[in-house]
């Protein structure tokens, strides 16, 4: 028998590759996007209590009511919209599951899905597995802003879904009010659905406002909006997120979810429900927490030969390494890890067709000061 792969373009993710390389060579890992500091103490205590109280069996498929109600109230507080906790909120096993579920729910064989490059690496495999075709539209190679003329030109009668991400991974770029207006006009009077990946929604800087799709009735009526507790509460390994969508779309997403994971880690759901209600200040102050890390890290990078690009949101810093090396980004990041002891992520895996001559790498600053200091000490020797 000969197995014909359904994902011929997919190998081991770049994040796994670079993290393994970092381990093998004792490098400071600023590649894979996970914090190396602990989660809030209340969350640990609430999780422990939930497990000790016996809340260890299957949760309801859509999520425990207390958590869905807490998410609904939080959404009202943040975005002025209160989704129906029973019909419009689904708790899932991480944002990636929500993305796969949403794509599988609405994309049929032969449909086209517009993605904006550079885009997160799970988008296209989800589209491929649904039998759709990813249509890649490049963002500006320096500012990572969308070109709405290019996006409009990519729309065809086969377009079923548009996927957006703000704050953006890997660049940190954010949609503006003008972008929202362009997006609204583009989708008006079409049957195109929207998937808005908003996992870094609370990590925004310099007084900026996160323009969530949930703020805009015309957009949210056709949208899956994906959020991540892992990014907000420093617990990426717990793999818990949620999706807010209109009842009709949530119904279809849940059909996939129930046969994918069925439900999500139950004790953590109880812990998040308590944390959201008891400490709203955590997510309200998260931007300031990470802004201080960003500013300190950028000041340190200015003592190296790497040039930091602007970072409006998220917890990644792009650096231009063209004054250090002419290697392509994959080769440079491998060299940086093996020879210089700092792991970074190249941008080319986020693209269908990387810009010619682009010399950018992604560093994660969601780290303790000691970790960042150790990395900077090595980067100063480039």
Is there a single domain that holds both residue 29 and residue 123?
Answer: no
In a domain, 94, yes or no: yes
Is there a single domain that holds both residue 141 and residue 266?
Answer: yes
In a domain, 102, yes or no: yes
Looking at residue 140, which CATH number applies to its domain? 3.40.640.10
Among 229, 255, 279, which residue terminates a domain? 279
In the chain, alpha helices (H): 14-25, 41-52, 65-79, 95-106, 123-129, 148-154, 177-187, 217-220, 229-232, 247-260, 266-278, 280-284, 286-301, 329-340, 369-379
Where in the sequence is the domain holding 327, given as residue range(s)? 14-39+284-379
Looking at residue 288, which CATH number applies to its domain? 3.90.1150.10
Is there a single domain that holds both residue 24 and residue 126?
Answer: no
Phi, psi of 137 (to 5 degrees): -120, 125
Is there a single domain that holds both residue 186 and residue 53?
Answer: yes
In a domain, 6, yes or no: no
pLDDT digits over 124-141, tens only? Answer: 999 999 999 999 999 999
> Quick one: pLDDT band at residue 32, thresholds 50, 70, 90?
confident
- Quote the mean pLDDT of the chain: 97
pLDDT digits over 171-206, tens only? Answer: 999 999 999 999 999 999 999 999 999 999 999 999
In a domain, 2, yes or no: no
Is there a single domain that holds both residue 21 and residue 127?
Answer: no
In a domain, 56, yes or no: yes
**Residue 9: predicted pLDDT:** 86
In a domain, 9, yes or no: no
**Residue 1: predicted pLDDT:** 85
Total domains in the fold of the chain: 2
> What's this model's pTM, rounded to 2 decimal places?
0.96
User: Residue 14 pLDDT > 90, yes or no?
Assistant: no
Higher pLDDT, 16 or 241: 241
> Quick one: pLDDT band at residue 15, thresholds 50, 70, 90?
confident
Instruction: Report d(CA 346, CA 325) in Å as an integer.
Output: 14
Is there a single domain that holds both residue 177 and residue 289?
Answer: no
């Amino acid at each position: 028998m000969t197995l014909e792969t359904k994902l011929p373009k997919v190998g081991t993710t770049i994040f796994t590759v670079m993290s393994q390389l970092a381990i093998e060579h004792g490098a400071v890992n600023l590649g894979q996007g996970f914090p190396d500091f602990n989660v809030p103490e209340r969350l640990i205590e609430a999780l422990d209590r939930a497990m000790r109280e016996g809340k260890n069996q299957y949760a309801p498929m859509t999520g425990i009511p207390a958590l869905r109600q807490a998410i609904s109230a939080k959404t009202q507080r943040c975005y002025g919209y209160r989704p129906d906790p029973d019909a419009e909120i689904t708790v899932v096993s991480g944002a990636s599951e929500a993305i796969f579920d949403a794509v599988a729910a609405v994309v049929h064989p032969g449909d086209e899905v517009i993605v904006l490059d550079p885009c997160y690496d799970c988008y296209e495999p989800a589209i491929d597995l649904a039998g759709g075709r990813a249509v890649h539209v490049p963002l500006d190679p320096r500012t990572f802003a969308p070109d709405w003329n290019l996006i409009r030109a990519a729309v065809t009668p086969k377009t079923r879904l548009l996927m957006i991400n703000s704050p953006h991974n890997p660049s940190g770029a954010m949609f503006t009010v003008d972008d929202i207006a362009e997006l609204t006009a583009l989708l008006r009077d079409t049957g195109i659905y929207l998937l808005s990946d908003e996992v870094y929604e609370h990590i925004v800087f310099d007084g900026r406002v996160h323009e969530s799709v949930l703020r805009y009735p015309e957009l949210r009526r056709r949208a899956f909006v994906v959020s991540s507790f892992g990014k907000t509460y420093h617990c990426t390994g717990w793999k818990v997120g949620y999706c807010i969508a209109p009842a009709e779309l949530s119904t279809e997403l849940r059909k996939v979810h129930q046969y994918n994971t069925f439900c999500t880690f139950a004790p953590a759901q109880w812990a998040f429900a308590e944390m959201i209600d008891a400490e709203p200040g955590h997510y309200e102050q998260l931007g300031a927490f990470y802004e201080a890390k960003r500013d300190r890290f950028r000041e340190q990078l200015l003592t190296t030969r790497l040039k930091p690009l602007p970072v409006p949101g998220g917890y990644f810093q792009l650096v231009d390494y063209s004054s250090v090396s002419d290697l392509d980004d994959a080769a440079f990041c491998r060299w940086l890890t093996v020879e210089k002891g700092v792991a970074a992520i190249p941008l080319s895996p986020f693209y269908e067709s990387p810009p010619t001559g682009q010399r950018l790498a992604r560093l994660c600053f969601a780290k303790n000061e000691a970790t960042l200091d150790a990395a900077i000490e090595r980067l100063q020797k480039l």
